[in-house]
Amino acid sequence: MSTALPIDHRVGYLDAAAQARLLQAIQAVVAEAPLFVPRMPRTGRQFSVRMTNCGPLGWLADKQGGYRYEPVHPETGKPWPPIPQMLLDIWEDVGGGAPPEACLINYYGQGAKMGLHQDRDEEDFSAPIVSVSLGDTGLFRVGGKTRKAPTQRYELASGDVLVMRGESRLAYHGIDRIVPGSSDLLPEGGRINITMRRVHKPDI
Ligand SMILES: O=C(O)CCC(=O)C(=O)O
Ligand SMILES: [Fe+2]
């Protein structure tokens, strides 16, 4: 029987103190680069998550321009804030290789979710995707390299790190829903997911 591609799920990677420190760093990013509402290309339909970015490049989704990476915030026009050192340390610790160029921050309020998709707006699939979760648990679904492949569910709790590399780099994945009240890290509730990625092949 075929199963979902295996992913590297590091449960409890960040302890409570580290989660609180990372949350502060993310709040500082959001203060400089406010959360915005992404929209589906063509239909213009809103995503249910709010997002922002840090790092040299940020991922955007809007009606006109589609899915892409840009060096500036779509509303402020300012460069994205730098990636907090704590996140760069995680990237290095899990063997991410050449430093991440993009760090997407998704905020899931009550009822937010993310449909099954592949992360394929990058030129370089040889680098991993490293994801860190804070706040309420997210029910993460991961499958294979086609949309129809069997899927498996993981519970991404606050402080968990997930690494998608090799075969699983292009696995379909999404968030079915968050579990309200499962963490009290975020004063307003909800979930933050942070994903670091390389966009370009590193110059050697
Ligand atoms: O929230 C998550 O855990 C996944 C986010 C995601 O797949 C993405 O931003 O591409
Ligand atoms: Fe994704």
Instruction: Report the pLDDT averaged over residues 185-203.
Output: 96
Residue the block writes with tokens 């300012």: 78
Residue 61 belongs to some domain of the structure: yes
**164 labelled binding-site residue:** no
pLDDT in tens, 69-113: 999 999 999 999 999 999 999 999 999 999 999 999 999 999 999
Tens digit of each residue's pLDDT (9 = 90 or more) over 9-65: 999 999 999 999 999 999 999 999 999 999 999 999 999 999 999 999 999 999 999
Residue 175 CA to ligand 2 centre (angstroms): 9
| Tokens describing residue 197 | 């990625």
- Asked, for residue 89, whether it belongs to a domain, the answer is yes
Residue 147 marked ligand-binding? yes
Buried b (16+ CB within 10 A) or exposed e, 159-178: bbbbbbbeebbbbbbbbebb
Number of domains composing the chain: 1
- pLDDT score recorded for residue 107: 98
> Which residues have any ligand 1 atom within 6 Å of their CB?
104, 106, 114, 119, 131, 138, 140, 156, 173, 175, 193, 195
Nearest Cα residue to atom 1 of ligand 1? 193
* pLDDT tens, position by position, 131-140: 999 999 999 9
**3 found inside a domain:** no
pLDDT score at 2: 59
Burial of 188 (0-12, 13-18, 19+ CB in 10 A): exposed
* Residues contacting 200, CB < 8 A, separation 6+: 101, 122, 123, 124
| d(C-alpha 6, C-alpha 42), whole Å | 33
- 204 within a domain of the structure (yes/no): no
Domain limits for position 39: 8-197
Q: What is the CATH number of the domain that holds 84?
A: 2.60.120.590
Work out the average pLDDT over 178-189.
97
Is residue 202 a part of any domain in this protein?
A: no
Closest CA to 194 of 23, 11, 12: 23
Token pair 């997911």: residue? 193
| Distances from the Cα of 150 to the Cα of 3, 92, 147, 175, angstroms | 6, 31, 9, 15
- Tens of pLDDT, residue by residue over 157-175, are 999 999 999 999 999 999 9
pLDDT at residue 1 is higher than 70: no
